[in-house]
Amino acid sequence: MNLTIAANINSFLAALVLLTAFGMLVQRRMYGLIHLFAWQGLFLSVSTAIVGFVAGKHHLYISSLLTLSLKVVLLPYILHVLIYRLRIQKEVDTVVNVPLTMLIGIALVIFSYHLTAPVRELSTLVTRSTLAVALATVMIGLLMMITRRHAVTQIIGFLAMENGLFFAATSATYGMPLVVELGVALDILIAAFIFGIFFFHIHTTFDSLDVEKMARLKESD
């Protein structure tokens, strides 16, 4: 594959990753949020496979398959089951309104491009143009955690942040060592099960997963 074509395809996939990040930022329907997270994982998986092919890094193929199985299939399934079992409402409230959240997200993207400009000028990697998108995805995931009131949506924001970190590792150094990636994947999977059990007990005790309501209960004590 020609390097220019590979770089263009990777940049297009990076744009789709960023688009899904913005989609999750403004999405208020729970199931729509999970579907966008799955799409982001799919774009990330394809991008990782392309980088592995161009750079000749065969461990990235395994990383791509891990991302596909974990973030496109398994984690969305666990989240679907969690929402169904806990009977969580389909729409969730946000701390900040959608237009202001979008403006903050756009500002974070501009800041990311400004911050990574020196790195992009010095780097010779095919993925140098996607580093800013990866950093923006991390920041948008963090913003999502801050602006959402529901615990499950905050966890999805945390997983979106992890997607951005993985994308940043692929963009900056052609990925982390395989042992590290396997360890991170296992940690995420275990964390998903722990969060599921944790949410179940919270919902059983307080009959809600709204963090603002739980904060009021703590203040009343």
Q: What is the pLDDT of residues 179-194, one digit of tens each?
A: 556 656 666 666 666 6
Which comes out higher in pLDDT, residue 112 or 94?
A: 112
> How many other C-beta atoms lie within 10 A of the C-beta of residue 192?
17
Whether the per-residue pLDDT at 212 is higher than 60: the answer is: no
Q: What is the mean pLDDT of residues 113-140?
A: 82
Mean pLDDT of the 153-160 span: 84
Q: What local confidence, expressed as pLDDT, does residue 41 receive?
A: 92
Tokens describing residue 17: 């990753």
| pLDDT tens per residue across span 27-86 | 888 888 899 999 999 999 998 888 888 877 788 888 888 888 888 988 888 888 878 777
Q: Does 11 score more than 60 pLDDT?
A: yes
Domain locations in the chain as residue ranges: 3-220
